Structure 1
Amino acid sequence: MARPLHHKNVFTLVKMLIVMCVISITLYLFMTIKSSMHSPQNIKDQIKLLTSKIDYYQAYAIKHRQTVLMVFRPNKNNIRVVFQNGQKDIVIPLSPLHLDEGSTLNTIAFDKDGNILKFGKLKFQYMQYHFDLIFHIEQGRYRIVSNE
């Protein structure tokens, strides 16, 4: 007597559970590796991320022809961005960077032309690395000094 054909190509419950486990483990590994690839892992990436935020608000001041004030708050380890037009303030967390209390600058303002209206230094720490952002009063310029 011949067996029915519909039993040959059917997954058993055990085979289905094994396939689901393999898919689940693969997805888990892919998601954890992908998320760690997008978070900055070294000091150069951290500096680029910080300076891109500063550059963004400088460009915002130029584009919208208004003063943008950035308040650096070491006690809260964040930056508060205040807009001239009354738009709601934005708070930017600095973690994993740490803003040191020894900074000589607590605010910078970009005027409508993108110029910085103050001179001073911000001191940051990331893991065992230290670096400074030194702001100049000309044309919205700053430089990075690494204290490695």
Structure 2
Amino acid sequence: MAKQLRHDGFTLIEMLLVLTIISVFISITMAHPQFNLLQNTTDYEIKKLTSEIDYYQAYAIKSHAPVMLLFRPNRNDIKVETINPHRVTTIPLAPLQLKMTSNLHTLIFDKDGKANQFGTLRFEHQQRAFSLIFHIEQGRYRISYQQ
């Protein structure tokens, strides 16, 4: 009586083919340059700046204490002072450039997240100008692009 051989599992050729396909997918995913270009765009920088402002507005609501944002065009940064706990933080704005023509130098979010004054912050990034225009109600702002 002859024994029957069973052919379960992968052969060497099948295994090499699967490993080749997996390695091609991994190399395409890891070396894709799109993610590096995203960080250099003006829209990315605007989103980064507005997320910082939104964070401190939410922090004022959460801690039930005012938060002060001091915009310093001569140093091109934002100085943030919180009360509960008392902490002073500096946020650099580079590669954005805060213009001296901005008419908003201090912005205080109260315990309800409302801004204490209105005004405009003017920025430039890669020869493209835009403004953040703050409204007094509910601490809202809008983005305006200059041509």
Q: Shift of residue 34 of structure 1?
A: 9.3
Q: Which runs of 5+ in 2 are unaligned?
A: 1-29
- 1:110 alignment partner in structure 2: 109
Q: Secondary structure at the residue paired with 2:124? A: strand
TM-score, normalisation: structure 1: 0.74
Letter in 2 for 1:107: T
Report how many residues are paired. Answer: 119
Q: Shift of residue 141 of structure 1?
A: 0.3
Distance 1:46 1:104 in 2: 21
Equivalences for residues 28-107 of structure 1 within 5 A: 36=36, 40-85=39-84, 87-107=86-106
Distance 1:132 1:34 in 2: 27
Distance 1:115 1:88 in 2: 20
Q: Shift of residue 84 of structure 1?
A: 2.1
Q: Secondary structure at the residue paired with 2:44? A: helix
Bigger shift: residues 78-87 or 99-108: 78-87
Distance 2:102 2:55 in 1: 22
Distance 1:47 1:36 in 2: 17
Moved over 2 A (4+): 33-37
Q: Which runs of 5+ in 1 are unaligned?
A: 1-29
Q: Secondary structure at the residue paired with 2:87? A: coil
Q: Secondary structure at the residue paired with 1:56? A: helix
Q: Shift of residue 35 of structure 1?
A: 8.1
Q: Deviations over 1:14-37 (max 9, x none)?
A: xxxxxxxxxxxxxxxx79x69836
Letter in 2 for 1:140: G
Distance 1:71 1:95 in 2: 16
Equivalences for residues 3-22 of structure 1 within 5 A: none
- 2:143 alignment partner in structure 1: 144
Letter in 1 for 2:133: I
Q: Shift of residue 137 of structure 1?
A: 0.5
Letter in 2 for 1:142: Y
Distance 1:78 1:34 in 2: 28
